[in-house]
Amino acid sequence: MSYDMEVLRCKGVTAQYEAGNLAIRAVDSVDMTVRRGEIFGLAGESGCGKTTLMRVIYRDVTPPLRVLSGKVSLKVGDGEELDLYSIDKNTLMKIRTKMISYIPQGSMSVMNPTSRVKDQFLEVFRKYGRVDKEEVLREVRAKLSELGLSERVLQSFPHQLSGGMRQRTIICLATILNPSLVLADEPTSALDVVYQRGVVELIQKIRDMYKTSFIVVSHDMGLQYQVTNRIAIMYAGKIVETGSTEEVFRKPLHPYSEGLINSIPRIGGAKQLEGLAGLPPNLANPPPGCRFHPRCPYRMEKCATMEPPVFRVGDRTAACWLLER
């Protein structure tokens, strides 16, 4: 795995929400890398810290959120590596949309209601000094038709588009300048199945054509299986397993991953679905040792006292004492 192929590298990222004396550590010592042209999935239950991790990567950090430690580096098109937390505000604003894009959760109402879609595209280009309307629109139309979106979308106002169309338009808006990395937080949650497929296909198409990397955050394991190449499972602020999607789904290494994957309904499956017992821990006061141990069906004595390190198995990683061999 040569460094040239990496687009994003997070090392030891820790961040917490602070309210008075209370501190909720939503992201704890996270290491993560995303490669070029890869659709990387981030999965886990609600409240496990996925969205917070996204915000930290994008450097959308405002009180009460505070980043305690860690490094986030983005590798941009020409090979230059940017430490996202040491660049100044102006540079940050410049690389947003051009090098790295963010599609937030609940993006239904994310577009300007009184501005036509074409104006919103023009706005993006204008930010970088491209003011030649005709040429810009030609480019946009070309790209839209490549991606399978009708030109009619440009003339419309956001409220005239259906939910699925809106989501796909937002994805196009976010990727129009060919950023290296796109962070998509729950891109399909508010949509019904038909539209979900459209979104999935769009993401894959963009990746295929422009080698754009995506991080897809979702608690929907079915979606993760469909769209991602590699996947990371998060639990209580920590990454508990990473690996290629195919392998992780076929044979999960961490008990939590196993529980998640077993909860997906399968066509033709006769087995009764098992959910995971218990609830996610209170992040203000996490359990000692391995954070999952209270709910783990395989727990050992060690798990209650000592936090497992990250074990490597080939191209995969997992943080579980079961792998200590």
Partner 1 sequence: MSRLAVFIISRIIAFVLTIVIGVTIVFAIPRLLPYNPVEAQIGFIYSIGQFYDPTAIESLRQALYELYGLKGDPFEQYLAVWRRLLTFDLGPSIMNFPTPVARLIGIALPWTLGLLTFTLIISWTLGNVIGTIAGYLSNRRFSKFLTGVAVVLYPVPYFILALVLMFTFAFLVPIFPLGGGMTLVVENINLDLVLNLAKHAALPALSIIIPGALGWWFLSSFTLSTQKKTEDFVRYAELKGLRERIVLRRYLIRNILMPQMTALGLALGGIFSGALLTEVVYAYPGLGRLLYQSIINNDYNMIMGVSLLSILGVSTATLFLDLLYPLIDPTVRYR
Residues 110-129, interacting with partner 1 (CB under 8 A): 110-116, 123-124, 127
Smallest separation (angstroms) from partner 1 to the CB of 105: 10
Piece in contact with partner 1 (CB under 8 A), picked from 109-117, 144-152, 230-238, 303-311: 109-117
Is the bond leading into 309 cis (omega within 30 degrees of zero)? no
Smallest separation (angstroms) from partner 1 to the CB of 96: 3
Give Cα separations from 316 to 61, 181, 236, 278 (angstroms).
Answer: 30, 22, 20, 27
Q: Tell me whether residue 14 or residue 156 sits nearer to partner 1 (CB atom).
A: 156
104 makes contact with partner 1 (CB under 8 A): yes
Query: In this chain, which of 34, 74, 102, 260 binds partner 1, going by CB under 8 A?
Result: 102
Provide the 10 A C-beta neighbour count for residue 129.
7
Q: How remote is the C-alpha of 122 from its chain's centroid?
A: 27
Contact between 230 and 294 under an 8 Å Cβ cutoff? The reply is no
**Which of left, alpha, beta for 97 (phi over 0: left; psi -120 to 50: alpha)?**
left
107 makes contact with partner 1 (CB under 8 A): yes
Task: Spell 60-79 as b/e; 16+ CB within 10 A means b.
Answer: eeeeebebeebebbbbbeee
Q: Could you give the CA distance from residue 175 to residue 207 in angstroms, rounded to a whole number? A: 10
| Residues near 5 by beta carbon (within 8 Å), at least 6 away in sequence | 35, 36
Q: Tell me whether residue 176 or residue 290 sits nearer to partner 1 (CB atom).
A: 176
Mask: binding to partner 1, 135-164, rule CB under 8 A, as x and -?
---------------------xx-xx----
Q: Tell me whether residue 99 or residue 276 sits nearer to partner 1 (CB atom).
A: 99
Q: Could you give the CA distance from residue 200 to residue 317 in angstroms, rounded to a whole number? A: 26
Structure tokens at 114: 């009184």
Query: In this chain, which of 2, 21, 46, 109 binds partner 1, going by CB under 8 A?
Result: 109
| Residues near 37 by beta carbon (within 8 Å), at least 6 away in sequence | 207, 211, 212, 213
279 makes contact with partner 1 (CB under 8 A): no
Smallest separation (angstroms) from partner 1 to the CB of 109: 4
SS3 content of the chain, % helix, strand, coil (to 5): 35, 25, 40
131 makes contact with partner 1 (CB under 8 A): no
Q: Is 321 helix (H, G, I), strand (E, B) or coil?
A: helix
Query: In this chain, which of 5, 22, 61, 93 binds partner 1, going by CB under 8 A?
Result: 93
Q: Tell me whether residue 127 or residue 141 sits nearer to partner 1 (CB atom).
A: 127
Query: In this chain, which of 31, 60, 139, 247 binds partner 1, going by CB under 8 A?
Result: 60
* Strand arrangement of the beta sheet that strand 230-235 belongs to: 100-103, 181-185, 213-218, 39-43, 230-235, 238-244, 316-318, 311-313
Smallest separation (angstroms) from partner 1 to the CB of 116: 8
Q: Tell me whether residue 97 or residue 257 sits nearer to partner 1 (CB atom).
A: 97
Structure tokens at 310: 């990250």
Residues 159-218, interacting with partner 1 (CB under 8 A): 159-160
106 makes contact with partner 1 (CB under 8 A): yes
Q: Tell me whether residue 94 or residue 266 sits nearer to partner 1 (CB atom).
A: 94
225 makes contact with partner 1 (CB under 8 A): no
Piece in contact with partner 1 (CB under 8 A), picked from 67-75, 86-94, 215-223, 230-238: 86-94
Q: Which residues bind partner 1 (CB under 8 A)?
A: 58, 60, 92-97, 101-102, 104, 106-116, 123-124, 127, 156-157, 159-160
